[in-house]
Amino acid sequence: MRSLRLAGLLVLALVVGVGLVLAHLFLGRSDLPPTEIVRVLTGRASAPAYEIIVLDYRLPRVLVGLGAGALLAVSGVLVQAVVRNPLAEPATTGVGAGAALAVVATLVVWPGHRLAYPAALLGALAAGTVLYAMGRRSLAVTGVLLGAVLAATTSLLLVVDSAPIGTVLRWLIGSLNARTPEDWALLWPWLLGVVPVAWLLGSRLNVWALGEPVSIGLGVRPGPLVAVVLLTAVTGAAAAIAAAGAVAFVGLVAPHVGRLLVGSDHRLLVPFAAVLGALLLSLADLVAFSISVQVPGVATDVSGVPVGAVTALIGAPVLISLVRRENRA
Amino acid sequence: MSTPVLSARHLDAGHGRTVVVDDLTLELASGTVTALVGPNGSGKSTLLMTLARVLRAQGGEVLLDGEPIGRHSSRQVARRLGVLPQTAVVPTGATVREVVEQGRYPQLGAWAMLRRHDDGAMRRALELTGLSDLADRRLDSLSGGERQRAWIAMTLAQETGVLLLDEPTTYLDVRHQIDLMVLVERLRDDHGMTIVMVLHDLNQAARYADRIVALRDGRVCADGAPVEVLTPSVLMAVFDVDAVVVDDPVNGRPLFIAR
């Protein structure tokens, strides 16, 4: 019964995933006939331009969306597990703000986002280290305060030098517009590292979930576990933020939906949240893109509506209803 | 007497900088049931948690089978010593079986625990605590007493020789309190387990424990068989309670009644 349900969910996720990828590939700003897209996908493109549009513009966008969504969701699960607070996510623990500040600082000094990855990683790691050092006893509260300080610093930086504000704003909100194959090439190794490690931590997180005294009693030492879990969460969040910007709510909503579907067992929750996060971010991006194309006047320039605006607008009400449902259950 | 299973030598213990337990020495013999009693704040829970290495000793040492408890990895200790703290957290949506399964972690390890387990130890633990029928229920949907039994089942699934229980009868109704105490006797008699528990009910301690250790202000105030500890003078010295002690008509243990 249980495994049947899981298999059903997996098949459903696969169908939705394939549907999303196809939707991203077939829908676009330039009118490309579907037959041409099929030709490109089967390696029989009739013009190099078509190949570029599908494989270099549309494919990286959907892949980066899926990958960043998965990383944000896994980071969310890990952070929530460590602080045992279902409202935690990379964005509310200062880690996202640290990455954003570092990216903004580098953008102010060196325009162009080649340095975004190292900057986001360093910023997130620095914030994560401060979090671990300062708030071992109250990570949730320290994280919120740390995030506030870092966000204020970012704002200050933008007041001092407002030249890159357009680019920077996209980073802060989170956007998947104009992703390149290079972006995907930079992202997937992190995905391959972080998600399996998070899953391997699952059995320890199940013990940790029972509270610190119980987990010490069962032989799981808090110090090393919290350090490794935070490091993994920070790394995942940093990679996602470097690739897609500080997208809000995916790291919060995906673990919640995952818990409703498969329960709080981390051995199942980690992979399921990853899949859900990937689908959620990609779906939100499709919505963001459709608004940009369909609604006149919303996005007059090529860049379009940032996906982070959509995840926040949809994510917040969804989260409220989930929390209400959890409280009633 | 043979080597004590668990002992404290000149132990100082407490939370943070405050010292609650002060230079305490205690030896616990194998296959016995010991009750720790004392007024609120006397250091019984602190002592129990330090014996279980959940709290770090501030001074002195804890010995498990004659060796400092810190010499072995925390997981190796967890294969020999199980502990039920008062502050267990119920994960949202977790079932009884999922919580009891975590008791297998010390024996199986993080790698093996990536697979779901439902082994003999878990089934025995559920059976001993009378939870077999509730195994697939959500823990947060159960009564306080059923939850408490689930936590006890988790520590039993650990299959350790030593069991430390912090106020295990809290939340339990009379029926389940008696069941638990009978279970403790059975674990001692059938499995030779060494059990230490913090109890508030002195008559319960007198009835089911082989030995009572009474603490006050972090020091041992009285220590011995129930008849030696449950006396009017000890009750006055430890609890400031004026009491009469009579013989329990059922099994001859001391029974106290406040005056």
State the DSSP H helix or E strand holding residue A213, giving kind and residue range, or none if neither: helix A212-217
**Average pLDDT value for residue range A63-86:** 93
Beta carbons of B85 and A200 less than 8 Å apart: no
Range with the lowest mean pLDDT among A23-32, B76-85, B160-169?
A23-32
* Partner residue opposite A216 with nearest CB, options B54, B84, B154: B54
Q: For residue A92, give how far its alpha carbon lies from the nearest alpha carbon of chain B (Å).
A: 21
Structure tokens at A155: 């704002």
| Cα dist from A177 to A92, A281, B212, whole Å | 25, 13, 71
Residue A161 scores a pLDDT above 90: no
Determine the average pLDDT of the residues in A213-242: 92
Taking CB atoms and an 8 Å cutoff, what residues of chain B touch A209?
Answer: 89, 91, 94
A315 vs chain B: nearest CA distance in angstroms?
A: 21
Q: Which of A202, A209, A218 sits opposite B89 (nearest CB)?
A: A209
pLDDT tens-digit map of B96-116:
999 999 999 999 999 999 988
**Above 70 in pLDDT, residue A93?**
yes
Q: Which residue of A has its CA nearest to B73?
A: A219
Domain boundaries, chain B: 6-80+160-258, 93-159
The Cα B45–Cα B28 span in angstroms is 16
Of the two residues B40 and A100, the one the predictor is more confident about is B40
CA distance to partner chain A, nearest, from residue B216 (Å): 24
How would you classify residue A112: left for phi > 0, otherwise alpha for psi between -120 and 50, otherwise beta? left
Buried b (16+ CB within 10 A) or exposed e, A103-117: bbbbbbeeeebebbb
pLDDT band at A313 (very low <50, low <70, confident <90, very high): confident
> Which chain A residues are within 8 Å of B111, Cβ to Cβ?
203
pLDDT for position A173: 85
Going by C-alpha positions, the residue among A24, A16, A14 that lies closest to residue A54 is: A24
Query: DSSP state, B162?
Result: E
Least confident of A100-104, B7-11, B57-61: A100-104
Residue A11 at interface with chain B, using a CB cutoff of 8 Å: no
pLDDT bucket at B29, cuts 50 / 70 / 90? very high
- How does pLDDT run across B216-234, given as a tens digit for each residue? 999 999 999 999 999 999 9
- pLDDT at residue A295, as a whole number: 65
CB contact under 8 A, B98 and A206: yes
Closest residue of chain A to B84, computed from CA coordinates? A214
pLDDT attached to residue A241: 87
* pLDDT (mean) for B25-46: 95
pLDDT at position A329 is: 55
* Domain positions in chain A: 2-328
Which are the contacts of A102, defined by CB distance < 8 A and separation ≥ 6? Answer: A119, A120, A122, A123, A124, A126
Instruction: Determine the pLDDT at residue A139.
Output: 77
For chain A, how far is it from start to end, CA to CA, in angstroms? 21
Q: Is the pLDDT of residue A144 over 80?
A: yes
- Distance to chain B for A242, nearest Cα, Å: 31
Q: Please list, in sequence order, all residues whose beta carbon lies within 8 angstroms of the beta carbon of residue B162, skipping any fewer than 6 positions away.
A: B5, B6, B64, B80, B81, B82, B193, B194, B195, B196
> What is the arithmetic mean of pLDDT over A194-202?
97
Gyration radius of chain A over CA positions: 20
Instruction: Tally A–B CB contacts below 8 A.
Output: 92
By the 8 A CB rule, do A258 and A269 touch? Answer: yes
Contacts of B96 in chain A (CB under 8 A): none
Cβ within 8 Å, pair A206-B52: no
For residue A214, list chain B residues with Cβ-Cβ distance below 8 A. 84-85, 87-89, 154
pLDDT tens figures, A121-135: 889 889 888 888 886
CATH topology of domain B6-80+160-258: Rossmann fold (3.40.50)
Q: Which one has a higher pLDDT value, A165 or A257? A: A257
Task: Check if the beta carbon of residue B49 is closer than 8 Å to that of residue A175.
Answer: no
Per-chain mean pLDDT for chain A: 86
B85 and A84: CB-CB below 8 Å? no
Name the strand (E) or helix (H) holding A81: helix A59-83
- Span B170-210, pLDDT tens digits: 888 999 899 999 999 999 999 999 999 999 999 999 999 99
Q: Is the ipTM of this complex over 0.90?
A: yes
Least confident of A12-21, A98-107, B160-169, B240-249: A98-107
Please tell me the predicted confidence (pLDDT) of residue B1. 53
Q: What is the pLDDT of residues A237-248, one digit of tens each?
A: 989 988 888 888
Residue A245 contacts B where some CB pair is shorter than 8 Å: no
Q: What is the pLDDT of residues A262-308, one digit of tens each?
A: 888 999 999 999 999 999 999 999 988 888 776 665 555 555 788 88
Under the banding of pLDDT at 50, 70 and 90, the label for residue A198 is very high
Which residues 119-158 of chain A have a CB within 8 Å of chain B? none
The two tokens of residue A140 are 């949730």
CATH class of A2-328: mainly alpha
